[in-house]
Amino acid sequence: MTRRERLSELDLLRFAAALAVVLYHFTGFGGAGAWPVPSQEVFPEIAPVTRFGYLGVDLFFVISGFVILMSAWGRGPGEFGISRLVRLMPAYWVSVLLGAAVYALFRTGHGVPGLIVPNLTMLQGGLGLRNVDAVYWTLWVELHFYVLAAVLAGIGITYRSCLVFMAAWMLGGVFADEADSKILQVMLVPTWSCYFIAGMALYMIHRFGPTLLLWGYVAASYLIALRWGAWRAENVFRGADETVVSAVITGIFAVMILVATGRLSRLRRRGLTVLGALTYPLYLVHSQLALPLLDAVYPGLDRWAALAVAVGASLLAAYAVHRLVERPGAAWMRARLMASLKPMRPHGETSTLVARGDRSGRGGADLDGGEPRDRAPVEAART
Whole-angstrom CA distances from 81 to 71, 314, 329, 345, 381 are: 11, 29, 16, 15, 21
Q: pTM score, two decimals?
A: 0.90
Domain count, the chain: 1
| Residue 1 confidence (pLDDT) | 34
Assigned domain for 310 exists: yes
Of residues 44, 236, 30, 374, the one with CA closest to residue 245: 236
Is residue 208 within 8 Å of 173, Cβ to Cβ? Answer: no
* Neighbouring residues of 294: CB distance < 8 A, sequence distance ≥ 6: 34, 35, 306, 310
Q: Of 360, 301, 369, which Cα lies nearest the Cα of 333?
A: 360
Instruction: With residue 6 as reference, give the H or E element that holds it.
Output: strand 3-6
> Number of C-alpha atoms within 13 angstroms, CB side, residue 321?
30
Range of the domain at 300: 3-375
pLDDT per residue as tens, the chain (383 positions): 334 457 999 999 999 999 999 999 999 999 888 899 999 999 999 999 999 999 999 999 999 999 999 999 999 999 999 999 999 999 999 999 999 999 999 988 999 999 999 999 999 999 999 999 999 999 999 999 999 999 999 999 999 999 999 999 999 999 999 999 999 999 999 999 999 999 999 999 999 999 999 999 999 999 999 999 999 999 999 889 999 999 999 999 999 999 999 999 999 888 899 999 999 999 999 999 999 999 999 999 999 999 999 999 999 999 999 999 999 999 999 999 998 887 766 555 555 554 444 444 444 445 555 555 554 444 444 55
pLDDT at 2: 38
CB atoms within 10 A of CB 316: 13
Asked if residue 383 is part of any domain, the answer here is no
Q: Is residue 380 part of a domain?
A: no
Which stretch of DSSP H or E encloses residue 374?
Answer: strand 373-375
Calpha distance 170→190 (Å, rounded): 8
pLDDT at 139: 98
382 domain residue, yes or no: no
Cα–Cα distance, 129 to 126 (Å, whole number): 8
> DSSP code of 190?
T
